[in-house]
Amino acid sequence: MARCVRCCCCVLVLLLVALGIVAAVVFVRNRNGGGGGGGDHPVPGSVDHKYAEALAVALQFFQVQKSGKLVKNEIPWRGDSAVDDGQEAGLDLSRGMYDAGDHIKFGFPLAFTATMLSWSVLEYGGAMEAAKQRDSALDALRWIMDYLVNAHPADDVLYIQVGDPEVDHKCWERPETMSEKRPLTKITANSPGSDVAAETAAAMAAASLVYKPIDASYSSSLLGHAEQLFSFADRHRAAYTRTFPELAKYYNSTTYQDELLWASGWLFHATGNGSYLAYATGKNGEDFADLGNPRYFSWDDKRPGTQVLLSRVSFFASQGAGVAEENGGLESYKQTADAVMCILLPDSETAAFRTEGGLLYVAEWNSLQHPVASAFLAAVYGDYMLTSGKTELTCGGQSFSPADLRKFAQSQADYVLGDNPMKLSYLVGYGDGYPQRVHHRGASIPADVNTGCGGQQWLESPDPNPNVATGALVGGPFKNDSFVDERQNVMQNEATTYNSALIVGLLSGLLTTSSVAQSLSS
């Protein structure tokens, strides 16, 4: 059961902020150079070349997924596409990225992709730089953020989708040659979608921290959008799939409540404004966070991510201010984050199910999403413990260390990269063997072929894809560790842009010696 969080906790946080005490938790460049921008910072430890090579591969999928007029195109079989997106509304929505093997821009998972890319750069930007991969991550992030900024033309208006998924999913064609209409879907005060608005606010707030030392004007603009979108999401509460029920079959949002907490957590770190922390730790946290009950992190459930993100305050601000000890709601977030870690550790008495090959197994469809997302949180949390000097995690009567969390994170990354019963890398382009028939339109059709909407022969072909969707993280194995490399096996063999953001985060966290910032702001 969630701990009761009294209003006095909110008042206390606001008073502490007024005294300048809580400012210590706002995300400084770390010992690993985790700040988003340049400048002088210590060089991290030696780079693990396996994870660095895998990270370089994973980041290429964002190039594969780009929409619009391409700049410095690095993918020989990709070209300009969807350059007129948004014109019917007088907007430039040509950028952004396609969701998966299709050509829809779904705003909800795309915003989550941006949030996760930002979090990865903020925690591990120095390690990325040491591996010469941070510029690639920033390029992908900017391509998405430019799209999201343009998709928010007014305070209470957000365009959340480009394209008709019913039409798109009946077509098998390259994005460069598609000619179907690309209708726009938007949320407004009369047609709300708190989940997608709040997730976009989280992306804007997190990215504002990344760009703060790089481009102050752009950072300020992103933060302005973030605050407007959060206000919009909170004032007009509804799930976007309740407003647009026809979209529930694609990315059905279980609830909008977790996104409100997630966004408030990111806005607190981006602004230092204690009202955002009070929002998450007060009645909203009591009602929405399901504190005390560990869950799995995903594009649909942000609660574990929020619990880990807000545990930063407990780990670092408490050193000088005692904030966590005084704020019952904040301490409940920390305790729940502990519980999340306990279900991930294989030797814990509360350990969740995993396959015989060692993969954390939560869902059959896109089975790699949850273990990769969970492993990223474990890597981050273990680094919070190390950096803050808290070296023990208690799970019931058992004690675990940051090294145990890192070992779990590495085990999931290694499984993905080929240390599994199939001896198959699920990251396309990495290793000696990886899926050859990824469910991806552009990869499956030769670059010089214009199929129109009817390229079914390429979907049904038993041959390997003529183009390699480098960096694609496919859905993954079944519960018995088996995998069928067939193009029409959507459950296992389709890659998603948000999966790529998760594996980028995990690999970045494993690049060098553990260490993160005590603050995310530069």
Catalytically active residues are: 439
Which residue, among 476, 363, 460, 462, has the nearest Cα to 428 in the 3D structure? 476
The conformation of residue 244, written as its DSSP 8-state character, comes to S
Diameter over CA atoms, the chain: 67
Sign of CA dihedral 274, 279, 282, 288: negative
Q: How many CB atoms lie within 10 A of CB 43?
A: 13
Residues 235, 155 contacting (CB under 8 angstroms): no
CA distance 517 to 380: 10
**Cα of 184 vs its chain's centroid, Å:** 24
The CB density around residue 462, as the number of other CB atoms within 10 Å, is: 7
**One-letter amino acid of 278:** A
- Give the CA angle between residues 443, 444, 447 to the nearest 5°: 70
CB atoms < 10 A from the CB of 145, how many?
27
Give the residue from 502, 517, 400, 510 showing the smallest Cα distance to 118. 502
Q: What number of other Cβ atoms are within 10 A of residue 356's Cβ? A: 11
Phi, psi (5° rounding) for residue 360?
-60, 125
